[in-house]
Chains A and B, each alone.
Chain A
Amino acid sequence: MGATLRALRALVLLAGFYLLGVFLLAALAGGDYLLYLHAPAGVAAKLYLVSVLLAIPLVRGLFMLRTPKGEEIAGLPVTEADEPELWRTVRELAEQVGTRAPSRIVLTGDVNAAVGEDARLLGLLPGRRSLYLGIPLAQGLTEAQLRAVLAHELGHYANSDTRLAAISVRGRAQVLRTIAHFEERADRTAGRERARQEKRNTRAAAKGKKGKEAEAGHAGITYRAMARIYIGYAKLYFRATLAGSRRQEYAADAAAARIAGRDATASALREIPALDAAFGFYMERYATLGSETGLLPPRGEVFGGFGRMLNARQLELVELRTQLPTEPSSPYDSHPPIADRVQHVEALPADGRAEEARGAALALLADPERTLAALEDAVLTDEVRRFRRTRDWQELLDGAMAEGLGSLSTPLHRALAFYTKDQPTLPALLQVIDDGQLWQLARRLPLSDEAAAAKGRAFREFARPALRESLNSMALADLSARSLLSWEFSWSQPATVHLPPAPDGEEADLGAAIEAAVADHPDTGPLRALLSHTPRERETDTRP
């Protein structure tokens, strides 16, 4: 099957997607006409009614095909005056790829680059073209690698082997969006119904009646039925066009390799999953460190910190790069597994361009500092932007840790409150231990079946890890409340805690003190000694 024929088939299938409802309605109408001709009037009347009931969801489905405009991705649109170098690069790449340059560039806050088009006429006609470029992606790639990524994205719109290929790409995007829209609306309807039922149940419960289990029931069933028909068809569509779209991905990779160099393309493909994982880690451990306490890193650092972390954790990145995903990311994904794509690109003949444009891609921006700060305003929600900005990362860490320890509630807290029917404080806990009741208290911890069944030393061994961890947190919280802790911020390692030095000048050994307090025959002496330190030593420290 030639490329044109393939594209034509995709086109017909795409048309079928929109005509599906019409066909089904026509079939119903045809059935009714046959009834009118051949069936006795009484029976026919009843069946008309059934066919009308069946037609309702079909008609609704037809209206649902009108998807709303794609939701605008949160980002920072940049004009040519803002970022001349970036615009020049993109124009140049588009020209080399042989397609129209995008009319808009939007910087986003994720590890992603995409070219999107507001296609008109059900995806048949081209529309305004936008390039979305994730700043975290630019932070992790070299200039050559970023060029490869952009060339690939632009390449989707300019496969020289077929003029119609762009249509199937647009069609694909449109179908995907329609399905997403269907599912969303079905979920929303079902959710509304569930909420209604729950409310009814609360009322019933208030009167002492047992309410029905809240469930979506039949609400949203017409949506879901319709969605199922269209999703089924969409799957058929995707399966039929999958081979073609895979071919296009490989072709886009080849175009990228031609324009940006083979090695840059292959290494960019390897880099993206690694960056993705690293960015997820960064967001969880660094950027959102103060989310509980309402603290934000300094302006520009929400994304700027990612670059610092990448620099500090080069060795871990090397490891991440070697683990390429071998599965497609979703059944709807047109991209072949990254491992296959890397293999295809690396199989191309060497082009001797390994040393090209090795500078950081972020240097394409006119003023990276200013852009990183402006991006925060564009992508952070208003609520988050109202958080207090800390002076530096260290302050953010200190604030987050102090707050976290201040509102601490470990399993040991709960066990202690249950055991003493009193406030679960550290002094109360130490008193319980001194009274020889630690192991009775440990029986109140949440225990696994095995631990609960164990006796003697075996039980103590099962309970000890939880005791050790909770007591450690409680001791840290106590020291933190008296401002005796200092935290060491690091881009390359988890934060470490420093205790006030012991009288002999050594750093106090909290681990050993905890160990003694949860030993088979506990001794709280070392821990009490450690906790009773006054901040005197720290004062001498800070003296010049």
Chain B
Amino acid sequence: MTVLLWTLGILATPFVLFALYLAGVFVKELFSPSDDSDDAAETAGKLGLLPAERQNAEHAGPLPAGWEAAFAAVRGGDWKAAAALLRDIGRDWERRSMAAYLLAEMAAEEDGWLLAWEADLADDPDAAVVRARSTVILAWKLRGAKRANYTTSEQFAGFHRTLQASREEIARAAALNPDDPTPYITEIWVALGLGYPHSEMDKLWTEITARSPHHYEAHFSALQYWCEKWRGSQALATEFAERAAARAPLGSLLTVLPLIAHFEHDKSDDTSADITPEMVARVDAGLADAAAADPAHPRLPELRHLLAFYLSLQDRDEMALEQFKLVDGYVNALPWRYEGDGEAMAAYYCRIRNASAQAASAGTA
């Protein structure tokens, strides 16, 4: 009898184990249902795309060679690295305004190195432009990124006070380097904050285009001014974007403007507005523009991020994936940037990217 029981017991063990496994899966499924996102992430991983935690949320793409080292030196207090960086960039206005912005971001935290620079080299135009940009960035930090209703009067007071103080520094930077559009580009953010009238903005714009007619950051900043949420309207923003894109030569990346104008004013919950023939044409123009651009253009990844986003929404997943592969590893760009800081930005980027990767692999399989 005992032997029989033992035999049955041994025979039953695999069944019991199997039943336990099933129960385990059931319970796991009940509490954390596996969804497609795991599969999609896996697909993306197979394609060599990076997981969210390895995305860089500081920049939109890799920095030009040598910049990273220069910034590290500046963080260590060595202003000469900053001076050398801007001197080497010279009259490449795209790079100059970008480098000045990134240096100014550091100076808006702590400006000991910048003060040392100013003390050692009086009236240095490069130090002056970084000073002006840093004060404007500081003003926006005081304001915070929330909507006006959630911004306190103390924040607004500091914002306005600091913006007002920046105007003198901007004028000084412009006087020290009359050819440089960067001080005027900086002033667009003052115009946004203090609410310059349109007439003043148009004057400012004349100064900028006289110095650099197709400057990426200038157009990006001015488009923000013309957006409904700032000092313009959807119609004004769209008109500005379309006109600038139409006039710009191929490869200047300004085809990004109509996409941004659409993105900034799109309040819909579905993709119907993003898949119109007009939007498809805008994305196609952007693709041609990106293909013609200098591959080392520091702003090229910003266009690619938006192209990838809209290609994905338009179910052109293989093309989207192509763009994603070109920018993967960096996520601080529109449209992801509006989702929040670091993690949220990367998570949003990966969600859209992985969906496209999965759809593309399903299409080819």
Q: Which residues from chain A contact B161 at a C-beta distance below 8 Å?
A: 461
Q: Which chain A residues in 431-461 approach chain B with CB under 8 Å? A: 448, 450-451, 454-458, 461
Q: Which chain B residues in 100-125 approach chain A with CB under 8 Å? A: 108-111, 115
A462-B158, A465-B157, A520-B111 as given contacts; A457 in contact with B152, CB under 8 Å: no
- Of B115, B154, B162, the most chain A CB neighbours within 10 A belong to B154
Closest CB in chain B relative to A509 CB, distance in Å:
18
Are A455 and B109 within 8 A (Cβ)? yes
Q: Which residues from chain B contact A455 at a C-beta distance below 8 Å?
A: 109
B144 on the A face (CB < 8 A): yes
Query: Can you name the residue of chain B whose Cβ is closest to the Cβ of A463?
Result: B158
Q: C-beta contact mask, A199-227 vs B, less than 8 Å → 1, else 0?
A: 00000000000000000000000000000
Q: Which chain B residues in 103-157 approach chain A with CB under 8 Å? A: 108-111, 115, 138, 141-142, 144, 152, 154-155, 157
Q: Which residues from chain B contact A457 at a C-beta distance below 8 Å?
A: 108-111, 138
Are B141 and A450 within 8 A (Cβ)? no
A458-B141, A461-B162, A521-B115 as given contacts; A450 in contact with B109, CB under 8 Å: no
Closest CB in chain A relative to B85 CB, distance in Å:
21
Report the bound CA distance from A461 to B156 in whole Å: 12
Report the bound CA distance from A458 to B144 in whole Å: 10
Are A458 and B155 within 8 A (Cβ)? no
Are B154 and A448 within 8 A (Cβ)? yes
Are B152 and A450 within 8 A (Cβ)? yes
Are A458 and B115 within 8 A (Cβ)? no
Report the bound CA distance from A24 to B144 in whole Å: 63
A461-B142, A461-B162 as given contacts; A450 in contact with B111, CB under 8 Å: no
Q: C-beta contact mask, A115-153 vs B, less than 8 Å → 1, else 0?
A: 000000000000000000000000000000000000000
Report the bound CA distance from A521 to B115 in whole Å: 10
Report the bound CA distance from A406 to B159 in whole Å: 34
A448-B152, A450-B154, A450-B155 as given contacts; A461 in contact with B138, CB under 8 Å: yes
Query: Can you name the residue of chain B whose Cβ is closest to the Cβ of A521?
Result: B115
Query: Can you name the residue of chain A whose Cβ is closest to the Cβ of B157?
Result: A465
Report the bound CA distance from A226 to B161 in whole Å: 57
Q: Which residues from chain B contact A465 at a C-beta distance below 8 Å?
A: 157-158
A456-B110, A457-B111 as given contacts; A451 in contact with B154, CB under 8 Å: yes
A450-B144, A520-B111, A521-B115 as given contacts; A458 in contact with B138, CB under 8 Å: yes
Are B138 and A462 within 8 A (Cβ)? no
Report the bound CA distance from A462 to B143 in whole Å: 10
Are A461 and B158 within 8 A (Cβ)? yes
Are A462 and B154 within 8 A (Cβ)? yes
Report the bound CA distance from A332 to B293 in whole Å: 75
Closest CB in chain B relative to A191 CB, distance in Å:
36
Report the bound CA distance from A104 to B278 in whole Å: 86
Report the bound CA distance from A454 to B142 in whole Å: 8
Report the bound CA distance from A455 to B152 in whole Å: 18
Query: Can you name the residue of chain B whose Cβ is closest to the Cβ of A520?
Result: B111
Closest CB in chain B relative to A265 CB, distance in Å:
42
Report the bound CA distance from A462 to B108 in whole Å: 14
Closest CB in chain B relative to A447 CB, distance in Å:
10
Query: Can you name the residue of chain A whose Cβ is closest to the Cβ of B139?
Result: A461
Report the bound CA distance from A451 to B142 in whole Å: 9
Are B111 and A458 within 8 A (Cβ)? no
Query: Can you name the residue of chain B whose Cβ is closest to the Cβ of A447?
Result: B154
Query: Can you name the residue of chain A whose Cβ is closest to the Cβ of B146?
Result: A450
Closest CB in chain A relative to B159 CB, distance in Å:
9
Query: Can you name the residue of chain B whose Cβ is closest to the Cβ of A448?
Result: B154
Query: Can you name the residue of chain B whose Cβ is closest to the Cβ of A457?
Result: B138
Q: Which residues from chain A contact B110 at a C-beta distance below 8 Å?
A: 456-457
Q: Which residues from chain A contact B115 at a C-beta distance below 8 Å?
A: 521
A465-B157, A520-B111, A521-B115 as given contacts; A458 in contact with B152, CB under 8 Å: no
Closest CB in chain B relative to A275 CB, distance in Å:
31
Q: Which residues from chain A contact B141 at a C-beta distance below 8 Å?
A: 454, 458
Q: Which chain B residues in 154-189 approach chain A with CB under 8 Å? A: 154-155, 157-158, 161-162
A520-B111, A521-B115 as given contacts; A458 in contact with B142, CB under 8 Å: yes
Closest CB in chain B relative to A523 CB, distance in Å:
13
Closest CB in chain A relative to B162 CB, distance in Å:
6
Report the bound CA distance from A126 to B141 in whole Å: 71
Q: Which residues from chain B contact A450 at a C-beta distance below 8 Å?
A: 144, 152, 154-155
Q: C-beta contact mask, B188-223 vs A, less than 8 Å → 1, else 0?
A: 000000000000000000000000000000000000
Known: A456-B108, A457-B108, A521-B115. 8 other contacts (CB 8 A): A448-B154, A454-B141, A457-B111, A458-B141, A458-B142, A461-B138, A461-B158, A462-B154
Q: Which 7 A-B pairs have the closest CB atoms?
A: A456-B109, A458-B141, A456-B110, A461-B158, A457-B138, A448-B154, A450-B155
Chain A contacts to B: CB under 8 angstroms: 448, 450-451, 454-458, 461-462, 465, 520-521
A-B contact pairs, 8 of them (CB 8 A): A448-B154, A450-B144, A450-B154, A454-B142, A456-B108, A456-B110, A458-B108, A461-B162
Chain B contacts to A: CB under 8 angstroms: 108-111, 115, 138, 141-142, 144, 152, 154-155, 157-158, 161-162
